[in-house]
Amino acid sequence: MKFSVCIKQVPDVTAPIQIKDGQLTQDTNRLVLDAYSASAVEESLVLTEKHGGDVEVVSVGPDKVKETIRKALAMGAGSAVHIQTETEESFDSATYAKVLAAYYKDAGYDVIAVGKQSQDSDAGLTGSMLAAHLDLPYATNAVGLEYDADAKKLTVTRQGDSGQEIIELPVPCLVSCSNDMNDPRIPSLKGIMKSKKKPVDVKSLSDLGLDESELKSAMKTEVLGYEELPEREPGEKFDGEPEEQVLKLIEKFKNEAGVL
Amino acid sequence: MSSILVYLATSGGSVKRSSLEVLSHAKKEADSAGLSLNTVIVDDSAADFVDVAKKHGAQKVYTISNSLFENHLNTPLIAALEQAVKESGARVLAMPSMEATKDILGALAAKLDSGVLPDVAEFSVTDSGVDGVRPVMAAKVHQKVRSTADLVLVSVRSGSYDVDENETDAEVSNLTFDFDEANLKATLKEIVSSSGEGVDLSEAPVVVAGGRGVKDEEGKQMIEELASLFNGAVGASRAVTESGLFPATTQIGQTGKVVSPQLYFAVGISGAIQHIAGMSNSKTIVAINKDPDAPIFEYATYGLVGDLYKILTMLIEEVKKAKS
């Protein structure tokens, strides 16, 4: 079976962020493999180790994305496709989905795996948009995957609103992965050495019959800028013995918060 | 007249509060933009909820009833909303952000070739489209976004708006669901509900959530007891759902549920930004933690510093007294 995993390079969201003139800046400038993408890579590796098959990773972005592609190859993916853009700026989710759909139109796969959202934008749109373009059955927010090789079916456990929904999808299909699914492996030294020899197929947008400036002008959403979160009114921290604090809280509940 | 369409999501026999929050805000936006306000209800017995839509300002209510909607499945829900958008001629489709809508929002936008602003904390309808504000970068900053497409989909985080009542005499239109079941390629095999879930966490007026400081079954039972005293729901941070002490469905935060109760207890939760992202819209926040420098105290209305086992034991006793 062939897993094709869409991975994203994101800024390190754990590093400090500043807003200058409405734009985000980070002193570290560190770019990493998105944690949800990493979970999708990990789960694909686990399933192909069990059932046999290949894992390919696909990423869209400028030259610097190569570094992140190498990380996924070092984890164990066998090959990669880099759809290289000229611009350093990001597209919106719909545009990434269009680009990926143009690639998958002529590509072979059994399962397309993606992260359920990405750590930087938390939009969670690209996966189901891609499934819609390719007319694939799909499930999002997967916390567990099992593959039945004989029936060619993928069983997805997804976290729904009122419990876990267990859904059976025929392949080919698409699944978006939660980071609650697994702990992505840290590449070994051997994995890193091997990754340097693995094939990375670099494609331009025009190879896929797309035009970068047309894609940009057709974008339906724009980011106007960034702002600090509204501040919450400072609260009260009690001190003293537990009993004293509890009585103070009960008093506040009755007289201030109106919850008792 | 052009319109705003609000998808009223239902769950367990009622309209989700977050749906009414969206409808209440959409009413204000429709009034100021001079648009009509319509709603669509998609359920196995959608007609049951028409009165709720009328009570909160809907001018027209579309219902789509089918047994396929007894449980969540993405393909039929996408088809139903696609049908409702086309029928109503809406230029904005607003809905609450929840697992079911996160599952379909992208695919629906792709099928309708619309703009889409997911998981916003605020939105406004302008002459040319929709503006929104959404938390990004692990909810550390707000991103201002805009779509000027002819049709814009927007999903709204729970707790972003208050629920208002505006009784209307809405026209009801029952749509015949136009769906070929041959398109239903995915099969729902089973739903595994989390154990002892009496109160829907995302809708509960009171949430008592446990974190890493809750070490064992005894601590968990105290959390459950406090929650039941307030008729509330039990929540948890990622640390204790991963360890297996609390069920995965109770996870609150960036990768779990977003809650906005009247009263939120953070018990033994340090307050990692990923957790804060899921609960910072709560009205009153009580933090109980032994570390006086825990970041959760920056968000807490009331902070109690000390051993959570001692504090919970006394708190349960005092709440019982106050309630009796």
Alpha helices in chain A (DSSP H): 35-51, 66-75, 93-104, 126-134, 189-195, 212-217, 242-252
B196 pLDDT exceeds 60?
no
Of B118, B197, B301, the CB nearest to A123: B118
Test B306 with A249 for CB contact under 8 angstroms: no
Of A97, A126, A238, the CB nearest to B302: A238
Taking contacts as CB-CB distances below 8 angstroms, the residues of chain A near B187 are: 167-168
Beta strand A111-115 with A2-6: parallel, antiparallel or unpaired?
parallel
Minimal-distance CA residue of chain A relative to B192 = A164
Distance from CA of B150 to the nearest CA of A (A): 9
Query: Residue B257 forms beta bridges with which residues?
Result: B252
% chain B with pLDDT above 90: 84
pLDDT tens per residue, range B16-36: 999 999 999 999 999 999 999
Q: Kindly state whether A179 is in contact with chain B, defined as any CB-CB distance less than 8 angstroms.
A: yes
Determine the pLDDT at residue B159.
87
This model of the complex carries an ipTM of: 0.94
For residues B134 and B142, give the distance between their C-alpha atoms in angstroms, rounded to a whole number: 5
> CB pairs below 8 Å between A and B: how many?
248
Determine the pLDDT at residue B203.
84
- Taking residue A236's Cβ as centre, other Cβ atoms within 10 Å add up to 13
> Which 3 state secondary structure label does DSSP give B171?
strand
% chain B with pLDDT above 70: 98
Minimal-distance CA residue of chain B relative to A17 = B140
Which residues numbered 113-142 in A keep a CB inside 8 Å of some CB on B?
119-129, 131-133, 137-141
Q: Mean pLDDT of all residues in chain B?
A: 94
* pLDDT tens digit at each of 260 positions of chain A: 999 999 999 999 989 999 999 999 999 889 999 999 999 999 999 999 999 999 999 999 999 999 999 999 999 999 999 999 999 889 999 999 999 999 999 999 999 999 999 999 999 999 999 999 999 999 999 999 999 999 999 999 999 887 899 999 999 999 999 998 999 999 999 999 999 999 999 999 999 999 999 999 999 999 999 999 887 788 999 999 999 999 999 999 999 988 88
Determine the pLDDT at residue A161.
86
**What angle, 0 to 180 degrees and rounded to 10, lies between the N-to-C axes of helices B308-323 and B217-229?**
20
Determine the pLDDT at residue B194.
58
For residues A106 and A44, give the distance between their C-alpha atoms in angstroms, rounded to a whole number: 21
Closest CA to B208 of A12, B199, B125: B199
Distance from CA of B168 to the nearest CA of A (A): 30
> Residue B126: phi, psi to the nearest 5?
-110, 180
Of A13, A97, A137, the CB nearest to B137: A13
B107 pLDDT exceeds 60?
yes
For residues A179 and B314, give the distance between their C-alpha atoms in angstroms, rounded to a whole number: 37
Query: Residue B236 forms beta bridges with which residues?
Result: B210, B251
3-state DSSP percent of chain A in helix, strand and coil, to 5: 30, 30, 35
Distance from CA of A142 to the nearest CA of B (A): 11
B200 pLDDT exceeds 80?
no
Taking contacts as CB-CB distances below 8 angstroms, the residues of chain B near A120 are: 136-137
Test B99 with A180 for CB contact under 8 angstroms: no
Test B192 with A166 for CB contact under 8 angstroms: yes
**The two three-digit tokens of residue A37, written as one number:** 């993408």
Selected for mutation to probe chain A from B143, B263, B288 (highest A CB count within 10 Å) is B143
Distance from CA of B304 to the nearest CA of A (A): 5
Of A179, A235, A253, the CB nearest to B303: A235
**The two three-digit tokens of residue A15, written as one number:** 């590093």
Count each helix (H run) and each strand (E run) in chain B, helices first.
9, 18
Of A13, A133, A225, the CB nearest to B110: A133
Test A242 with B104 for CB contact under 8 angstroms: no
For residues A36 and B8, give the distance between their C-alpha atoms in angstroms, rounded to a whole number: 30
In this prediction, residues B242-268 reach a mean pLDDT of: 91
Selected for mutation to probe chain A from B136, B279, B320 (highest A CB count within 10 Å) is B136
